[in-house]
Amino acid sequence: MRLGVVRADFRSAAEQRPGLLDAPRERLDAAAEEKRVRIVRAGVQSVGRDQWDAARGLGMGYLQTMRWVVLPQAVRVMIPPAVGLAIGLVKDSSIVSVLSYIELTRAGQILMEKTFLSFQVFGIVAALYFAICYPLSRLALYSERRLKLGG
């Protein structure tokens, strides 16, 4: 019930200054998109030229080469940095919250200021971050093992 009150208070403050909350989030999204593009490009470029030539030699077109030869190999290379990017975005969003828009850490700070239960509130916030990041890292480990990567 209290959390709903915190969110309602935040929305009223956001309505007073429209557009203020969009800029840092958009910058974070743009930076993440640039990193995603680099990850995909690196994955595709990691496939050897001989693989491309072999696919062409078999008479495959560009789309067939990408679907059946390049992407299955590139995905193996893309998984670890993509999961690292996802975990980094969770962490970076908490930094952006200091500047502008509400997210988990900021909501915890507001709740702590209203209830004065700092240890309990930030314990729950830490548990929620752990609940978000740990499954992502386990998924990456599972994917790497399944694809026989990382060691």
Question: What is the reported pLDDT for 54?
Answer: 95
Give the residues of the chain that fall short of pLDDT 50: 1-21, 99-101, 150-151
In sequence order, the 6+-apart residues with CB closer than 8 A to the CB of 43 are 74, 75, 77, 78
Q: Are 102 and 10 in contact (CB under 8 A)?
A: yes
What residue ranges define each of the domains in the chain, with the CATH number in brackets?
2-146 (1.10.3720.10)
Question: What is the reported pLDDT for 57?
Answer: 95
